[in-house]
Structure formats: structure tokens, C-alpha cells
Amino acid sequence: MRRTRWAGHVAHMGARRGAYRVLVGKPEGKRTLGRPRHRWEDNIKMYLEEVGWKGMEWIDLAQDRDRWQAPVNAVMKLYIRKTVHL
């Protein structure tokens, strides 16, 4: 999805930027009963696992724009297929 593309841009920003801290940070506070909290990073990892890029450190992968483009395109194609078949 577009989140993966955005995550690649944010990964280039570095740890001092606010957007980067939001992307990889852990949510604070308590949550009522229900589903567990998800971080943006958890969603990115889930998307990459669905297209077969499991076990890679995605932030390191995103640092190389050429290598990052392949998993981003794979995620985009997967979700386009899923939405078309609904």
C-alpha cells in the first residue's frame, strides 16, 4: 500500500525527525479491551511478509532506494489485486 512507499521516505529522514519517531515508536498509554495496539512499523512488516520479504530489516532495505522499490511495487500489486477481486 502507499504506507510502504511513505515509510521508505521516512526511513531516509533519520532518527531525529518527528515522522521517523512516529513510524518506529511504541504507542504509550493503556488501551481498553479489544485488539492490541499496532505501530506503523508493524503494518509495514506485515505487508512485506505477505509478499515474501520476511526476515529482512526493512529500514536498512529502505535506505537503498533501488532495492526498496521492488518490495514496494510487490505490495502495491498485491493490494490492487485484492481490491479488484472484492
The band of 85, judged by pLDDT with boundaries at 50, 70 and 90, is low
Angle at Cα 3 formed by Cα 78 and Cα 68, nearest 5°?
75
Handedness of CA 55, 34, 38, 4 (dihedral sign): positive
Q: In the chain, what percentage of residues exceed pLDDT 70?
A: 93
> Which tens digit of pLDDT belongs to each residue from 16-25?
888 887 777 7
